[in-house]
Structure 1
Amino acid sequence: MDNPSKIIEGGVEFSLGNFDGKNVLYDFPKILIYLDVKGKLLFGKNFRIHDEDKDILLKLCSYFIKDRENCSSYGIDIDKGILLSGPVGCGKTSLMRLLRYVVPLQRPYELIPCRNITFGFNHLGYKTIEEFGNTKFYCFDDLGIEPIGRHYGKDCNVMGEVLLSRYELYLKTKQKVKTHATTNLNAEELEERYGNRVRSRMRELFNLVAFDKEAGDKRK
């Protein structure tokens, strides 16, 4: 039987904790070592785990490894998705791309820029929205800064419609379908962008995990 506490990267075995045959007792410092190595493989040698991000990483890792006790102390519901918010360049997208690898046996989510979904709508119309109302797991990247969709002269707030579809699906599947997102916007800006109805559905779809407003731009 596979040992889910061990991951092999480039011929090197990394341990994320101890496996007792049923459960993994994860070790956060070991997870950080693995994430640093995997991050360099994915994003280049300049990638590193920043000390100031360790608190947010602990929250996100607790969620992905389904550590109910830790999640409960953070007010995180493991049945909901993650809405990761923070300033431009703080590393939201990289973390959401990276954290999938900590739990290789869990169902992965596909990371898709919101603007690509809007462009898809402009070409294909409402079929695009229907496509995302399916049981796949997604992380919608850069929510809130995508353009308004337009198909045959009709405007549509595409991501607002997609989120409503994902919410309906979430209810129907008894919280089995995961939707994640990253955003640079705060709650008021999201409400302005999508309206009160979508905003209230987002509260039920997502756990909000936020970087500090002062988090620096790591791309500089």
Structure 2
Amino acid sequence: MVNPCKLIEENIEYSIGSFNGKEVIYDFEKILIYLDVKGKLLFGHRFKIYKEDHDIILKLCHYLIKDEDNCKKNNIDINKGILLSGPVGCGKTSLMLLLKHIVPLQKPYILIPGRNIVFGFNHIGYKIIEDYGCRQFFCFDDLGVEPMGRYYGKDCNVMGEILISRHEIFIDHKIKTHATTNLNAEELEDLYGHRVRSRMRELFNLIHFDENTNDKRK
């Protein structure tokens, strides 16, 4: 039987909790140790887990391990996706790339920048929107800073259209979508319109960094 609490990195085993064959009891302090190790492997030796980010990380961990009681306390619906917002350089992308590794038995989401999707649209057109309306789990990175799409002289708000498609597949098949963004709710509505913003409320739980969080790239 596979133990979901035992994770191996470079032939070293890390425990992030205990498993009795039926129930998993996670240990947040042990998860932090593992995330620090995995983060350095993924992003280099300068990576570190910042104490001021522990609350955000804890909420995301509760969501990923499907801890319903703690999610309810934080008004997080485990059936929706995550919209992780915060200022530039606060670590949104790194966390979304990193945290999925604590639940290796769950189907992973694919992280892709919104701007890359728009570039694909400019090259091959509306098939891109169809491609992202599938049953794969995605995390759209840097939502809202992508350019307007343009194909054969016609403009298209590509990510807005994709979000509408993702909402449909969420309603019909319970397929989650995640995203990161530097923008607030009002800025997203200005960009995508009220219709998309209304669907985003159904698609996402909003988890946000403090607006004064330091840029960790400096």
Same fold (TM over 0.5): yes
Corresponding residue of 2:202 = 204
Matches within 5 A, 1:119-130: 119-130=119-130
- TM-superposed CA distance for 1:44, in Å, is 0.4
Q: Which amino acid aligns with 2:44?
A: G
Distance (Å, rounded) in 2 between the aligned partners of 1:148 and 1:107: 31
Corresponding residue of 1:184 = 182
Look up the SS of the partner of 2:192 in the other structure: helix
Q: Which amino acid aligns with 1:95?
A: L
CA-to-aligned-CA distance 1:124-158 (integer Å, 9 cap, x gap):
11100000000000000000000000000000000
Overall identity of the aligned pairs, in %: 69
Distance (Å, rounded) in 1 between the aligned partners of 2:111 and 2:200: 18
Look up the SS of the partner of 1:55 in the other structure: helix
Give the alignment's Cα RMSD to 1 decimal: 0.4
Matches within 5 A, 1:3-152: 3-152=3-152
Distance (Å, rounded) in 2 between the aligned partners of 1:153 and 1:24: 54
Look up the SS of the partner of 1:217 in the other structure: coil
- TM-superposed CA distance for 1:164, in Å, is 0.2
Distance (Å, rounded) in 2 between the aligned partners of 1:178 and 1:93: 17
Distance (Å, rounded) in 2 between the aligned partners of 1:145 and 1:64: 26
> What TM-score comes out, normalization by structure 2 length?
0.99
> What TM-score comes out, normalization by structure 1 length?
0.98
- TM-superposed CA distance for 1:22, in Å, is 1.1
Look up the SS of the partner of 2:193 in the other structure: helix
- Structure 1 residues not aligned, in runs of 5+: none
Q: Which amino acid aligns with 2:144?
A: G
1:195 is the counterpart of 2:193: yes
* Runs of 4 or more above 4 Å deviation: none
- TM-superposed CA distance for 1:53, in Å, is 0.1
Look up the SS of the partner of 2:216 in the other structure: coil
- TM-superposed CA distance for 1:20, in Å, is 1.2
